[in-house]
């Protein structure tokens, strides 16, 4: 991460809220799962971001 801070393009990207949130999540998961990178702990609550991405949205199309 410290190497990336030396790059002007990375510093510029950190000004974007979506990029900053992605970096935050990646760092959080790196710290949280550093002991076992293949699976979250058994007592971990499901991540709402991952759950919402795996669900299929329900769409109702009106018929005439």
Please give the pLDDT value at position 60.
Answer: 62
Is-above-0.95 flag for pTM? Answer: no
User: Which residue, 27, 32, 22, is CA-closest to 2?
Assistant: 27
- Copy the structure tokens of residue 54: 């795996």
Tokens of 29: 């998961």
* pLDDT surpasses 80 at 59: no
Look up residue 43 and give its two tokens.
Answer: 């007592």
Q: 47: pLDDT confidence band, cut at 50, 70 and 90? A: low
Look at residue 30 and tell me whether its pLDDT is greater than 60.
yes
Q: Does residue 57 have a pLDDT over 60?
A: no
In 3D space, the residue among 41, 20, 23 whose CA is nearest the CA of residue 32 turns out to be 41
- The answer, yes or no, to whether residue 33 has pLDDT greater than 80, is no
- For residues 61 and 24, give the distance between their C-alpha atoms in angstroms, rounded to a whole number: 38
- Which residue reads 């058994």 in tokens? 42
């Amino acid at each position: 991460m410290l190497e990336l801070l030396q790059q002007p393009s990375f510093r510029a990207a950190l000004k974007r809220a979506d990029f900053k949130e992605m970096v935050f999540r990646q760092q959080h998961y790196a710290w949280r799962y550093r002991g076992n990178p293949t699976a979250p702990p058994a007592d971990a609550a499901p991540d709402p971001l991952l759950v919402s991405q795996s669900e299929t949205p329900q769409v109702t199309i009106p018929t005439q």
